[in-house]
Amino acid sequence: MTGGNLATDPIQTFRRVTTQLGINSTVANQYNVSIKVITPENVRSSREPPRFLRVLGVQAPEYRTNLAGQTIGDDEIRINHDVATQPRIAGLLTHEYVHIVQHSRDETGQLFDVDTSGWDEIPPSGPELRLLDSSLTEGAATHVADQYQQAYTDTLPQGTRYRRAYEQRETAGGRYFMAPYWFGYRYVADRLEDNSTLASIYDQPPRTTEALVHQYDPGAEPPVSLSVNVTADRWWPDDRGRVGELGTRIALSAHLNRSRAAVGADGWGNDALVPFERNSSRGYVWITRWDDTANASEFRTALTAALNQDATATEMGWRDGQVVFRIQQGEDSETVVVVAGPPKFARNTSMDINQRVSVQVR
């Protein structure tokens, strides 16, 4: 350990954590973890909202530095000097030790099994997969730390601390950063109450953030059918992604209060996010499908209210700086399509909204 001291025994803590995780002593002894106590500004996060969420107003959180702790790879933990001697350091160190184990896939097995997780069916681009991955990773670490604190300390459990942190974030960027800790912890704790194990959660994780938010069993409430056909002339479509219910909720919360944003995202059925590029310009067509027409209309109403907060209404839709937004819902339809991009992109994009959605960008 370098840079300072901790108000807990790191070796004892590691042994307790590996015992909690069911790792035998032979494997546990193979870990060689370096702990560095460093200045607050050097404990920083690279996690920031995906580009499409930023277009919708979700800016990077204001506190990407001065984190309490951070794990680098499978052999280094950085601890904020200001936290190192506080009573909660035992829970924090436990959390980071779990990340060390998660990152050490050669010794413990790959964290998420592609053959059993179903994650190969999730579009690799977009906020959904990123939020799912971080939620299960942080949720498991938070739950183990929570249990450690209850067994060995009298400090505020991490799960409670992160719930408060999520609820107290004043920006959508802050909520994007904290959502995996709170929703992930809550989901993991609920699954473990049903006699699941962390290994079984890794093998069969939730396949949507809808399942994460509503704590559905694995495989329950799969995404509804959504078929999208795209044709483009001068704009090039990029890899498709999915925003998901949690990403939608966070996006709406950039301009609406948390409860209103949650209502607007409820009833999510599926979505497809199609980015387009032309030279240095980028536009998006976001096709959302909802459980019923009422949920679709609720989302359209919520997004309209969000755009009315900061964007300027125009004949085409709304304009915020160099980005024009359009919203179109099919008649008596569960499908709402959002166009976002430069004026020429928005003007030259047309949609035919039926059971199969056709998008044409000229």
**In this model, does residue 125 exceed pLDDT 90?**
no
227 has pLDDT over 90: yes
* Residue 5 included in any domain: no
- Mean pLDDT across 235-254: 96
Q: Are residues 201 and 258 in the same domain?
A: no
Element (H, E) at 165: helix 158-168
Percent of the chain's residues with pLDDT above 70: 94
Q: Does the pLDDT of residue 65 top 80, yes or no?
A: no
pLDDT at 121: 79
What's the pLDDT tens digit per position in 8-27? Answer: 999 999 999 999 998 988 88
Please, which residues have CB within 8 angstroms of residue 129's CB and are 6 or more apart in sequence? 119, 122, 123, 241, 242
Take residue 80 and report the two structure tokens written for it: 């904020």
Mean pLDDT (whole number) for 325-348: 94
pLDDT of residue 62: 63
142 and 20 in one domain? Answer: yes
**pLDDT at 63 > cutoff 70:** no
For the stretch 75-109, pLDDT in tens is 999 999 999 999 999 999 999 999 999 988 644 34
Q: Which residues pair with 358 in a beta bridge?
A: 229, 352
Residue 223 predicted with pLDDT over 90:
yes
**Same domain assignment for residues 176 and 32:** yes
Check if the beta carbon of residue 164 is closer than 8 Å to that of residue 185: no
Examine the fold and report which residue of 179, 214, 249 is the final residue of a domain before the chain moves on: 214
- pLDDT surpassing 70 at residue 131: yes
Helix (H, G, I), strand (E, B) or coil at 356: strand
Residue 35 pLDDT greater than 60, yes or no: yes
In this structure, the answer to whether residues 169 and 238 fall within a common structural domain is no
In which band, very low, low, confident or very high, does the pLDDT at 194 lie, cut at 50, 70 and 90? confident
In this structure, the answer to whether residues 197 and 240 fall within a common structural domain is no
Query: Could you write out the DSSP letters of every residue in 27-89?
Result: HHTT---EEEEE-GGGS-------HHHHHTT-PPPTTSSS-SEEEETTTEEEEETTTTTSTTH
Domain stops at, among 184, 214, 244? 214
Q: How many CA atoms lie within 13 A of 272 on its CB side?
A: 20
Please indicate, yes or no, if residue 279 is contained in any of the structural domains: yes
**Is pLDDT of 273 > 60?**
yes
For CA atoms 121, 125, 126, 128, give the dihedral sign: positive
Average pLDDT over residues 48-71: 84
Domain with 47, as residue range(s), is: 10-214
Q: Of the candidates 214, 249, 282, which is a domain's last residue?
A: 214
Asked whether residue 43 is assigned to any structural domain, the reply reads yes
What number is the average pLDDT over the span 175-189? Answer: 96
- What is the rounded average pLDDT for all residues in the chain? 91
Q: Identify the band that residue 238 occupies on the pLDDT scale cut at 50, 70 and 90.
A: very high
How many domains does the chain contain in total?
A: 2
pLDDT, tens digit (0-9, with 9 covering 90-100), for 102-119: 988 644 344 566 566 677
Cβ count within 10 A of residue 253:
27
- Position 109 scores a pLDDT of 43
> What's residue 243's pLDDT?
98
pLDDT value of residue 141 = 96
Contact 243, 127 (CB under 8 A): yes
Q: Are residues 98 and 198 in the same domain?
A: yes
> Do 28 and 224 contact (CB within 8 A), yes or no?
no
Query: Are 175 and 265 in the same domain?
Result: no
Alpha-carbon distance values, 348 to 270, 324, 326, 352 (Å): 25, 12, 11, 14
Question: Rounded CA gap, 279 and 121, in Å?
Answer: 30
Tell me the one-letter amino acid at 362: R
**Residues 204 and 305 both lie in one domain:** no
Binning pLDDT at 50, 70 and 90, where does residue 46 land? low
| 253 and 190 in a common domain | no
Same domain, 183 and 248: no
Q: What is the mean predicted confidence (pLDDT) over 318-332?
A: 93
Same domain, 235 and 355: yes
**pLDDT for the residue numbered 232:** 94
How confident is the model at residue 106, as a pLDDT?
Answer: 45
pLDDT at 339 > cutoff 80: yes
- On whether both 199 and 298 belong to a single domain, the answer is no
* Confidence (pLDDT) at 107: 40
Q: CA-to-CA distance for 351 and 299, rounded, in angstroms?
A: 18
Backbone region of residue 227 per phi and psi (left: phi > 0; alpha: psi in -120 to 50; beta: other values)? beta
Q: In what order do the strands lie in the sheet with 349-353?
A: 227-232, 356-361, 349-353
**pLDDT (0 to 100) of residue 275:** 97
Q: In whole angstroms, what is the distance from residue 61 CA to residue 252 CA?
A: 16
Q: Is the pLDDT of residue 144 over 60?
A: yes
Whether residue 346 is predicted with pLDDT greater than 50 in this model: the reply is yes
